[in-house]
Structure 1
């Protein structure tokens, strides 16, 4: 009987500690930074990004920065309107010529936003 109680207490401690650890650990969060978004757009303009990678980053909402989320939504709309769906796998660019121009303008806007943010952060 003593052996049973010992095994029961040890198992209870192990299960209890695992449950406590799971309850206390937070949910992992993915946080898209402006530099990551800029690099993705640069690679899309150079036709070096596949559709899966694009959709993974662009399809995920950016809740910590409304300006970045607006840029993300505009980029997503560009692909919806001007995208060459399923042609990326055959070596074609992600966007047609009009979409490439609009994405370049969006990239310039993001670069200016990033420069302003870095200047503001270094001034503080």
Structure 2
């Protein structure tokens, strides 16, 4: 009988610890950063990105940074107007030539914005 109480108490402690850990933990959150967008834009311009990778990053709203959200929406519009996902599936480019030019301009604008932000923080 004492063995039963010891096992019962150990199981109860483990169960309570598990419930407490679950109650105190937060839901994980993914925050898209500027470097994530730069890496995606570089991969698309080098024909290394898939349509799935594009939609995974660009399809997720960015609520913590209005500038990045605006850039994400412009990128979404760029895919709607110049996207060629059927060619990317066959090893081609994800965008038409004019789409790649606009994406390169977006990428350069984001890189310039990041260098300015970095300069402000270090000044």
Identify whether the pair has TM-score above 0.5, normalized to the shorter chain. yes
Query: Structure 1 segments of 4 or more deviating over 4 A?
Result: none
Match of 1:92, SS? coil
CA distance in 2, matches of 1:74, 1:47: 20
Within-5 A mapping of 1:18-97: 18-97=18-97
CA distance in 2, matches of 1:8, 1:36: 49
1:35 positional shift? 1.6
1:5 positional shift? 2.5
CA distance in 2, matches of 1:10, 1:86: 58
Aligned residues: 123
Identify the residue that residue 16 of structure 2 maps to in structure 1. Answer: 16
Of 2-11 and 34-43, the range deviating more from structure 2: 2-11
What TM-score does the superposition give when structure 1 sets the normalisation length? 0.90
CA distance in 2, matches of 1:86, 1:22: 44
Runs of 5+ unmatched residues, structure 2: none
CA distance in 2, matches of 1:45, 1:19: 48
CA distance in 2, matches of 1:76, 1:26: 30
Runs of 5+ unmatched residues, structure 1: none
1:26 positional shift? 1.6
Match of 2:86, SS? coil
1:60 positional shift? 1.5
Deviations 1:21-66 (A, max 9, x none): 1111222121222122112101111211111111111111212111
